[in-house]
Chains A and B, each alone.
Chain A
Amino acid sequence: MTTVMFPRQEEAIAPPPPKISTRNLNVYYGDFHAIKDVSLDILPNHITALIGPSGCGKSTFLRCLNRMNDLIEGARVEGSVLLDGQDVNDPRTDVVALRRRVGMVFQRPNPFPMSIYDNVAYGPRIHGIRRRSVLNEIVERSLRQAALWDEVKDKLRQSALALSGGQQQRLCIARVLAVEPEVLLMDEPASALDPTATFRIEELMQELKSQYTIVIVTHNMQQAARVSQYTGFFFKGELYEFGETAKIFTNPEKRETENYIRGRFG
């Protein structure tokens, strides 16, 4: 958030430039047209939620933002995804650097089968940080940011797989934060967790919002309404409606959006 004390009028009104914008984005899996012509701006330091019924393309869209779709055989992406104005699909874009800037938290907690410490230190290590003292610092800072430090500080050497599901998911968030990304992509980060753990994750997102740009895909509409400032409704591969969360949930423009939000389908 900008902290200008006395903004001039037009600066206060003009929205900040989008962190990520997509223009006419299309994704095909073989013959299947998964994403149709999606153009969307994602603002920095806000939480943007993507909702919609299963198979509507919201996860696919999310995976375009850090090119995780590269890993899926037969996936083809057309159109542009701009991160700070630079096309991530440009052949000159270094995908390793891109994924460092755009981190991802997955649906199921997926800690590596190694110690808690090594999980968090994995990212810094692959980016060349070797010094013990620096690693220690990063691990502690990341675990604190993920609100996990107090629970694990005495057992950093223990296997990450011994943690509970909710703790594992916060560990995965800490692991992403350790590489200091600018954008956090969260693909249904709480769908495998119980309500208490879900609440912790949502709380965490609010704390992280000031430093990161967060995009969350969720099946849970209450969650989208609770955590996000902007919401996009995906339906059959198209972005049907996008706007401020309050507006989408109270006064949607499209009938499909309203039906979905009222729980009439999906």
Chain B
Amino acid sequence: MRLSRAHELWRRFLNMASLALTGICAIVVMAPVFVILAYLVVNGIRSLNIEFLTSLPKSPGETGGGMANAIVGSFYMVGLALMLSLPVGVGAGVYLAEFGRTRYAHVVRFMADVLNGVPSIVIGVSVWALLVVPMRSFSALAGGVALSFIMIPMIARTTEEMVRAVPNVLREASLGLGATYARTMWSVVLPAARGGIVTGVMLALARVFGEAAPLLFTALGNRFWNLYLDRPMANLPTQIYEYAKSPYEDWHRQAWAAALVLIIVVLVLNIIARVSTRERYRALR
């Protein structure tokens, strides 16, 4: 009797201890996010003002000025990357989901996973050799292409998962009505998978929005306005890098502000991804 009582206490203790341990681990997961956010807000909020958002950088040494060109440049190149990677990624994803049993598809899937794992600096260097060297100039185009190389495998794999998850009965219903396979894809399967695909695309956008490495050797950065595809273009990540390693106090503060802008955009993209997922579940209920 006494033995079993002790045993029960020990069991309860183990239970509590395990619960506490996993709880602490969960806190450790969240902590960096809060630390980063708090740090950025504390350091960046002072320099985050209208001037920062709307004007060009000033010459080294002068205080004031902003990063309007880098903010626009980041959106510009991410938008370009989206235009390049969305059709390719979704197309490849549909192929893998629907005809994914062939040897060719296995190779494609494996390559996509490899590309997903390639360090972004390597992608940057490769695109430098592929585009910057032949064009004899750093360019927004090269930056967009480098970012799209990161996005394509992410979008392809998410699309594959989502299209695969569309119930087969929907395909059969459409084909049974005399629809062609292509029509079934366009009108039934892709719309049914849309929520999930949008989520994946948003997460991919959030990921590349903060990438500095692929842009260092491709878009380079620019202290002035540029909207031409074939010229160097300013962007937030490389601007942060440049400002943070500069000797100027004011530039350091602006780097913090830029980082804050970056994280806000990433956060918003993540939230959109979340909301679009919720839409999807509501639609299927």
Contacts and interface: CB of A to CB of B under 8 A. Distances in A.
A172 B169 CA distance: 12
B117 interface: no
A96 B187 contact: no
Contacts of B178: 96-100, 123, 126-127, 179
B191 interface: yes
Contacts of B283: 113, 159, 161
A28 B177 CA distance: 25
Interface string B140-182: 0000000000000000000000000001011111111111100
B188 interface: yes
Contacts of A123: 177-179
Given A106-B169, A126-B183, A126-B187, A113 B176 contact: no
Interface in A81-124: 96-100, 103-104, 106, 108, 110, 112-114, 122-123
A2 to B, nearest CB: 28
A1 interface: no
A106 B173 contact: yes
A175 B170 contact: no
B192 interface: yes
Contact of B176 (A97, A104, A114, A127): A104
Given A113-B192, A113-B283, A159-B283, A108 B169 contact: yes
Interface residues of B, number: 22
A48 interface: no
B3 interface: no
A20 B229 CA distance: 63
Given A96-B180, A179-B178, A71 B191 contact: no
A43 interface: no
Contact of A110 (B101, B172, B187, B285): B172
B29 interface: no
B30 interface: no
B284 interface: yes
A126 B285 contact: no
Nearest to A114: B191
Contacts of A161: 283-285
A129 interface: no
A179 B175 contact: no
A175 B175 contact: no
B172 A122 contact: no
Given A106-B169, A108-B169, A68 B175 contact: yes
Given A108-B169, A113-B284, A161-B283, A122 B187 contact: yes
A176 interface: yes
A66 interface: yes
Contacts of B170: 110, 112-113
B179 to A, nearest CB: 5
Given A113-B191, A126-B187, A176 B172 contact: no
Nearest to A111: B173
A96 B181 CA distance: 10
Contacts of B171: 71
Those 8 A-B pairs whose CB atoms lie nearest each other, nearest first: A100-B178, A110-B169, A104-B176, A123-B177, A99-B178, A126-B179, A110-B173, A96-B178
Given A71-B171, A71-B175, 9 more contacts: A68-B172, A68-B176, A96-B180, A100-B177, A100-B178, A110-B170, A112-B170, A122-B177, A179-B178
